[in-house]
Amino acid sequence: MAILVTGGAGYIGSHTCIELLKAGEEIVVLDNFYNSKPAAVELISEISGKDFKFYHADMCDQEAVDDIFEENDIEAVIHFAGYKAVAESVREPLMYYRNNLTGTFCILEAMKKHGCKKIIFSSSATVYGIPEKVPVDETFPLSAINPYGNTKLIIEDMLRDVCNADKDFSAALLRYFNPIGAHESGKIGEDPNGIPNNLMPIIINVCTGKQEKLTVFGNDYPTPDGTCIRDYIHVVDLALGHLAALRSVREKKGAIPYNLGTGNGYSVLDIINTFERVNNIKIPYVIGDRRPGDAAECYSVPDKAARELGWKAERGLEQMCRDAWNFVQHNK
Ligand code: UD1
């Protein structure tokens, strides 16, 4: 039996595919390369030393998704595929609702038709909106402050409803904090198509001269250095969280949310300083205005995942910064 990985050529998806293959799982990958590149598929095989079936298809194409379930014995789905740029989702809400929701419908319809009842969903800490306090645990109130975040919330609700309707169904709702870093081989990492929106890809662009400088979004927040605090997590730790979640959906039923974070909060200036120090490079930056919709602080209580999944992030901030830059050095 195989695990279907949607969006498996993407940043978190590709790192997870490697860990799944290394653990001896059989995988089938679907990706439309909207925000990823075909080379990632080859690199997953190269790094893991294992082959797998790949489908260049769109998750919104019900027929294509059904064919994958016809042609393979799918035990569980790890569902990464989706649009994820917050600002774009504000400009083009329908595009986000159509893609993220329709794609998930197609996957769930095919799962239903083929009796597949286990899913791991890429949710996000964005489902906590602007948290009233930190650290954030899974019982905090949920809200959406942009269409992207709302698609994550709606899909979590859909999965809760599916699990309520069928007591044999299991769904792990993995609420990621801020994944950064890259595989230690330097062969795969974050390589977004187009202009990046997130802090680490922007730092990389500044260091490689693709962008002139970084703008720090505000230094007047009520935090020790005035810049926003986030819970940055190494992408390989995050990938390993999916293996732990896979063991869980094989044993437990129902829709269960888990924070995947380290529990440590670092400010934007912490990231800049650590990146500069471990990689011996200068990041030109200026302080700019606050970005609308940014929480001053957002970091996790990761205890539930430790307790129930037996998973804990192990890689520290220095390694995250080193590995992110190592990936760039390998791909010049
Ligand atoms: C963002 C999204 C979140 C999404 C996540 C993953 C927003 C408000 N939130 O999280 O919904 O799940 O990405 O895609 O967009 N920063 C700068 N300068 C920059 C870029 C970022 O100072 O040029 C700061 C931000 O203010 C923030 C931190 O860096 O404090 C991290 O930003 P980012 O990487 O965009 O992640 P989030 O905002 O936490």
In this predicted structure, what is the pLDDT of residue 195? 87
In this predicted structure, what is the pLDDT of residue 107? 98
- Burial grade of 132 (CB within 10 A; 0-12, 13-18, 19 or more): exposed
Q: What is each CA distance from 177 to 26, 87, 153, 229, 328, in whole angstroms?
A: 27, 18, 15, 11, 23
Number of H helices, E strands in the chain: 12, 14
Cα gap 54→186, rounded to integer Å: 22
Average pLDDT estimate for 152-175: 98
CA angle 266, 304, 26 (to 5 degrees): 95
**Predicted confidence band at 264 (pLDDT cuts at 50, 70, 90)?**
very high
Q: Kindly give the interhelix angle for 268-279 and 199-207, rounded to the nearest 10 degrees.
A: 40
Binding-site residues, ligand 1, Cβ < 6 A: 84, 86, 124, 126, 149, 178, 197-199, 202, 214-217, 228, 230, 268, 291, 293-294
Residue to mutate, 197, 274, 286, 290, ligand 1, most ligand atoms under 8 Å from C-beta: 197
Average pLDDT estimate for 158-185: 98
131, two tokens: 């948290």
Shortest-distance Cα residue to atom 20 of ligand 1? 199
Compute the distance from residue 203 Cα to the ligand 1 centre, in Å.
Answer: 12
Is 28 a residue whose pLDDT tops 90?
yes
Alpha helices in 190-231 (DSSP H): 199-207
Q: Which of 11, 148, 176, 258 is catalytic?
A: 148
Check if the beta carbon of residue 89 is closer than 8 Å to that of residue 99.
no
Shortest-distance Cα residue to atom 18 of ligand 1? 216
Task: State percent of the chain over pLDDT 70.
Answer: 100
In this predicted structure, what is the pLDDT of residue 176? 98
Q: Which residues, other chains included, contact 263 with Cβ-Cβ below 8 Å and sequence gap of 6+?
A: 135, 231, 299, 300, 301, 302, 303
Compute the distance from residue 86 Cα to the ligand 1 centre, in Å.
Answer: 9
Check if the beta carbon of residue 34 is closer than 8 Å to that of residue 76.
no
92, two tokens: 């083009």
The rounded mean pLDDT for the chain is 97
Average pLDDT estimate for 140-152: 98
What global pTM score does this model have? 0.98
Which of 1, 11, 8, 4 is CA-nearest to residue 181? 11
Average pLDDT estimate for 227-248: 98
- The answer to whether 221 is a known catalytic residue is no
Is 130 a residue whose pLDDT tops 90?
yes
Average pLDDT estimate for 249-271: 98
Cα gap 45→292, rounded to integer Å: 41
Residue 8 phi, psi dihedral angles, 5° rounding? -75, -10
In this predicted structure, what is the pLDDT of residue 302? 98
CA 187 to chain centre: 18
Check if the beta carbon of residue 107 is closer than 8 Å to that of residue 61.
no
Ligand 1 atom nearest to 176, measured from its CA: 12
Is 17 a residue whose pLDDT tops 90?
yes
Compute the distance from residue 160 Cα to the ligand 1 centre, in Å.
Answer: 27
In this predicted structure, what is the pLDDT of residue 194? 84
